[in-house]
Structure 1
Amino acid sequence: MLIEYREDRTALLVYLGTLMLEAGDQLAQLGGQRHRSELYQRFVGWARARGQAERVTMFHVNPEPGAQIHHSDPFAVPADKRSPVRRFRGRLAAPVTLWTAPGPAGLTVSSTLVADGDPGRLLGLIDAESDLWTAVEEAGRFAVAPLSPTHRQLADRFAGLFPSPGGLFAIDSWAETPYGPVPADGGGWVGCRLDEAREYGWSLLVEATIERVELTDDGGPLLHHRGRYHELG
């Protein structure tokens, strides 16, 4: 999480604060009690920079007295042992899209490819264990919407990196379609019919036919590159 939110410590603290409140509620329901300061230190305190500028990432190895604090991730895979394929993939900037299906279910996907033709086709790599794939397999159809820089938090929610109290679709504005909900403020969407899917590497390669295209004003793409979000310009 420190790596993912290295450029936005405020968002990380909001996320951890939400988890802290949820933990407090769950403990109360179970009849347990924790002092507020203990919960704060466990969920939030470890992520705050101490004695350093906020831009410095702090990694706490453990919560025990005398714990070591590092300025690099002590658990990171050594550079010489990282998958070269994954490192190469990280250098390919990819548009961030949201896939949804009736149910509803959704997933952030940064491996979407559109092939022009008559009809047009769409391919993408998704997690075979995701709720999205369960919904797509059952419905036989899904929607794909490109995300813009204003959708960073939404992208994190559907990627499982940000809390979603009340469910993934509980906040933001959504437009209902026969293929699944799409962001009401998005730059358009396509409705797809599932053709086939097969294992491809460690992912599931989904192939589909584009049945419907809806385009609105383009606000610019949200891009993913080397583990972080970017935008043009």
Structure 2
Amino acid sequence: YRGEVSGKLADDVQDFITQEAIHSREHHLLNNKIDREKYPVADIEAEVLERVNFGRAGGPMRMLMATICLEHFTSMMADLMFDADIDGVPIFSQTDPALERLWRWHAMEETEHKAVAYDVFLEVTKGWPSLKRYFRRSLSMLLITKHFTANIANFSAMLLEADGYTREEADRAVKEFLWKKPALFGRGWKVWLSWFKPGFHPWDHDNRHAMDDWKEALTPVPAE
């Protein structure tokens, strides 16, 4: 749909594409540092690619619907991630500083462009009846939610199994992490539910203040 947008939105789309390309590069580099003999990285990557190809096979609108729904999820999780704790202990308290910095940077970027794909959706469907637009995005979110949460849980459990958990123990640990402590999904349900409000827009949940804080924390301080 790049040819169907213009002005500031076209600029935003180009910035979005650039950011996503950088994200892919950084996570590809990270994945290559993981012990592939121990962890099932190749299996997970193959499953992700299969799902991406399924989306592409459905044409541009299916890809756009998947994108706007997944952007809602990732921005929601980014917003919740960095004040998350388990019994008062921040979830990144024992994380390598370089890895924590990567996740903070990624969260900031996800927040910064969280509305771009949605604005494209609004532009390319402006001729649709409002009820059709609402039904399409609502149905898409329900389907994406079902598959995305299941995939996240399954992939996380696969990694824990590689660490010696039984499948039952892994499933229980993932469920507790996502829904109880620190409850990235459990605490995010209000933001998730806001999607179904008529007239919804991603910046209705305005967390630009958090993005500014992250930018300040990630900006290198010049040497004196």
Structure with higher helix content: 2
Higher relative contact order (CA 8 A, sep 6+): 2
Structure with higher strand content: 1
Bigger radius of gyration, 1 or 2? Answer: 1
Q: Same fold (TM over 0.5)?
A: no
